[in-house]
Amino acid sequence: MNKTLEHKFISDLEENQNIVHKVCRIYTNNKEAHNDLFQEISIQLWKAYPKFRGDSKFSTWMYRVALNTAITLYRKSKRTIKTQDFESVLYRIESIDYDDSEEKQLKLLYKAIHQLSDIDKALVLLYLEDKSYKDISEMMGITEVNARVKMNRVKTKLKNILNP
């Protein structure tokens, strides 16, 4: 693939890398796994880039490829699944002022998210990113009604894990 395309892609990726980091944060629970998934998503984005036609926003397209990689293409290593540390959660907490109970709740929330299935994790991410049901249904290939039903279920599931 030619150099101009590569430069353009790297600029786009650099600008929007937050999206990839966020997907990694939802799907992994330690730095090593985060970097691993970040690498695989970046490779898949680059592979798919020539086919990106600009009929959707670059960021929407990135969500789609990144989530597809996390749900479908990424091969989790056993080591990753067993690790139970939550570095990715801890790296931000120091810089924002939360009271103790909020911080505790957040830790519990992130822990609860990590217990969800691959599909549910995608839904949580899209909820947090305020994506419309139309976007969600297009990204996942399901109907809007189904997206809505699934979203309500995952919210209830999270609440149930937190308030047993």
Q: State the minimum distance, in angstroms, from the CB of residue 84 to other proteins.
A: 20
Q: How many residues bind other proteins (CB under 8 A)?
A: 64
Q: Specify whether the CB–CB gap between 157 and 113 falls below 8 A.
A: no
Q: What share of the chain is helix, strand, coil (3-state, %, to 5)?
A: 80, 0, 20
Q: Does 133 bind other proteins (CB under 8 A)?
A: no
State the residue for tokens 């990689």. Answer: 69
Interacting residue with other proteins among 79, 81, 134, 143 (CB under 8 A): 143
Instruction: Tell me the one-letter amino acid at 56.
Output: S
How far is the C-alpha of 24 from the C-alpha of 152, rounded, in Å? Answer: 23
Q: State the minimum distance, in angstroms, from the CB of residue 114 to other proteins.
A: 13
How far is the C-alpha of 146 from the C-alpha of 80, rounded, in Å? Answer: 31
Interacting residue with other proteins among 69, 80, 126, 135 (CB under 8 A): 69
Interacting residue with other proteins among 40, 80, 126, 135 (CB under 8 A): 40
Q: State the minimum distance, in angstroms, from the CB of residue 103 to other proteins.
A: 9
Of the chain, the end-to-end C-alpha distance in Å amounts to 53
Q: Does 116 bind other proteins (CB under 8 A)?
A: no
Q: Does 72 bind other proteins (CB under 8 A)?
A: yes
Give the residue with the Cβ less far from other proteins, 105 or 132: 105
